[in-house]
Structure 1
């Protein structure tokens, strides 16, 4: 069996041809309702089922996760840490998939909610929602994290006085070429763009330093089309999605469509959008809606623009993060408030989903990653 561990990273858009063998899944959670921390599962693709392997103790809400590109290490934010925030590193045992804690560092801000790792594996980017800042941390050769070498404090307010009262940095997404990082601030309605020096673990504003969306939209998560020409932004507060074209040389974004509606036409309740992913073929885009409890499904045109295909009920309450497996055959949806992960088979021609009937119990799941060996 090929021993190369192929990793699939949620939020960064990295995909690879999965090798035959066991596929393992890692689930980050909030420290609620008896959650132990990070949960490890083995996925049986033929049966479409998840079997538990390990629960890793972490009482500080290890909510969002990221892989090292070599597949040997896993990183988690500790969203429930003190006002200086926190992030942890773990070694992955390739034989068993189990995790071993390595070390932790401050994220220099409260409520860290998102982490990403650059393609060289030398730098991690941590978004502090509560602190309204971005921290840049070097990654050592042994996978351990060093103290932050750079940080950016955002400032500002927005028209939504309850949610945009101060800066809330929500995610940092690396460009496909690893030269830029795009930082979404829910409050300022901007995607801030930075040049990345991964070797030195430093950033600086790009020549075009930001892109803006409609005031009150609330930027959250961001993803790139596999062709690198287009990018898509969750607008959390308006339950919409924005579409951009991207200049590969400068990293600049041009808004093509804004406030594209994602909710079912007949939905009238309260909702906020959460996560966004594109299937490996680049033909379909999915966005999760908390309140409507659906995944919005869009077809992606050759011009990058979106056409609504449908809405899939997610069979749970408050769908946050979700995973499209590297072969594009399954979608796994994590439900924060119903303590379950539901599994759907995916029609790769139409983009539509069919619930398999499989629902896995996990307390307050927030993030799902998958590896294969």
Structure 2
């Protein structure tokens, strides 16, 4: 009997180890070329492979996604919604990772393109690219989205007549201390800084209300170094990156590098930069380039400044969004125009990437996130 019990326990142990190696990934898409909406995959870390387990119907281009801090809920912007915008909430089945639709709300502006959730899990911030505004939505205890309780409308323009004819709010990124949210406006070449009232789901301008970047650069996405002292901004229109130091008391940003080139000198075709991430160790920064179709790789110095390490072709067209897994072992790149996600192994000492040969078909993927387990 003891031998049998031991055998069963050993078997269960092996099974749990296998299960622990699999993680859940969520893919946001544009409603193009047969896309069904949000795709759910299981990632097998040992094998380095992804397998689809669900497709969640949403015909309104559920592009950018965000997970609730509890892991129990997922939120999508619906970029193809009407002029009032749209945001959806989903319950996450913790056993399988599958999604069940709960409810939707307006984002109070056209073209919602980014959503983030504060660390208390009580407030969502939605960036309306077309509407040039930020919407603030409370999250109920059951994970559902409530109607917006606050919004901020930007106004103005930039030197690029085609892309900066008006305000275009592109992302809202929470500070590590959860006290401030940084809102990138591509049209105004500004990072607006707001203090957050998490109890009432409202915002107000910080004492230093914004940081400006070079005219015509086009702020897009923003990310913080793990130590919280430094932060980095994608400048979409000039295919560059800006580096900042941050005052944790006031939230104010001080630029330490501007217009750092991400493209090789000999590349002269059209390109726009898109996404930006730092590896978990804080040693390397990656930025995606659409046109050159590669990730630019930078080493991060102790002073927060960047030094170019190299470029990694992404094996697809238009790498809009990418993910560095929480362990820093893999990088996943979502290609909007070649309908695929490619997987790379990451050298944690050099920061360089090696293509694994894995390319997963997904129609018009534009966002990829992983549920921590």
Once the 2 structures are TM-superposed, how far is the Cα of residue 21 of structure 1 from its aligned partner? 4.2
Q: Find the counterpart in structure 2 of residue 127 from structure 1.
A: 127
Aligned counterparts of 1:348 and 1:50: Cα–Cα separation in 2? 22
Distance 1:370 1:157 in 2: 36
* Aligned residue in 2 for 1:38: 38
Q: Which residue pairs with 2:200 in the alignment? A: 200
* Matched residue, 1:100: 100
Write out the 4+ residue segments of structure 1 that deviate beyond 2 Å after TM superposition.
Answer: 19-22
1:265 Cα deviation after fit: 2.4
Contact 1:235/1:259 (<8 A) preserved: yes
Is 1:79 the counterpart of 2:73? The answer is no
Distance (whole Å) between structure 2 residues aligned to residue 163 and residue 22 of structure 1 = 41
Q: Which residue of 2 aligns with 1:5?
A: none
> Structure 2 CA distance, aligned partners of 1:221 and 1:199?
26
Q: What is the rounded CA distance, in whole Å, between the counterparts of 1:103 and 1:237 in structure 2?
A: 35
Task: Give the aligned partner of residue 230 of structure 1.
Answer: 230
The Cα offsets for residues 91-145 of structure 1, whole Å up to 9 and x where unpaired, read as 0000111000000000000000000000000000000000000000000000000
2:6 aligns with none
Counterpart of 1:250 in structure 2 is 250
Please name the residue that 1:219 is paired with: 219
Q: In the alignment, is the contact (CA less than 8 A) between 2:67 and 2:371 conserved in 1?
A: no
- Map 1:10-159; keep pairs closer than 5 Å: 20-159=20-159
Shift of 1:20: 3.2
Q: Are the aligned partners of 2:332 and 2:343 in contact in 1 as well (CA < 8 Å)?
A: yes
Partner of 1:371: 371
Confirm or deny that 1:265 pairs with 2:270. Answer: no
Distance 2:173 2:370 in 1: 18
Q: CA deviation at 1:297?
A: 0.1
How far is the alpha carbon of 1:371 from its aligned partner? 1.2
Contact 1:312 1:353 in 2 (8 A): yes
Where in structure 2 are there 5+ consecutive unaligned residues? 1-18
Q: Distance in 1 between matches of 2:171 and 2:371?
A: 22
- 2:336 is equivalent to residue 315 of structure 1: no
Deviations, residues 254-312 of structure 1 (Å, cap 9, x unaligned): 00000000012221100000000000000000000000000000000000000000000
CA RMSD, 1 decimal: 0.7
Partner of 1:166: 166
Distance 1:361 1:96 in 2: 21
Q: Is the 8 A contact 1:167 1:185 kept in 2?
A: yes
Q: Find the aligned partners of 1:200 and 1:20 in 2 and give their Cα distance.
A: 38
TM norm structure 2: 0.95
Report the 3-state secondary structure (helix = DSSP H, G, I; strand = E; otherwise coil) of the residue aligned with 1:142: coil
2:292 alignment counterpart: 292
1:173 and 1:208 map into 2 onto residues whose CA distance is 16
Which structure has the larger Rg over C-alpha atoms?
A: 2
Contact 1:321 1:366 in 2 (8 A): yes
- Find the counterpart in structure 1 of residue 190 from structure 2: 190
3-state secondary structure, aligned to 1:328: coil
CA contact (8 A) 1:294 1:311 kept: yes
Aligned equivalents of 2:342, 2:205: Cα separation in 1: 40
In the alignment of these two chains, the number of paired residues is 355
How far 1:372 moved relative to its partner? 3.6
The structure, 1 or 2, with the larger RCO (C-alpha pairs under 8 Å, 6+ apart) is 1
Judge conservation of contact 1:21–1:372 (CA < 8 Å) in 2: no
Q: Distance in 1 between matches of 2:332 and 2:21?
A: 19
8 A contact 1:22–1:372 mirrored in 2? no
- Aligned residue for 2:20, secondary structure, equals coil
Q: TM-score, normalised by structure 1?
A: 0.95
Unaligned runs of 5+ in 1: 1-18
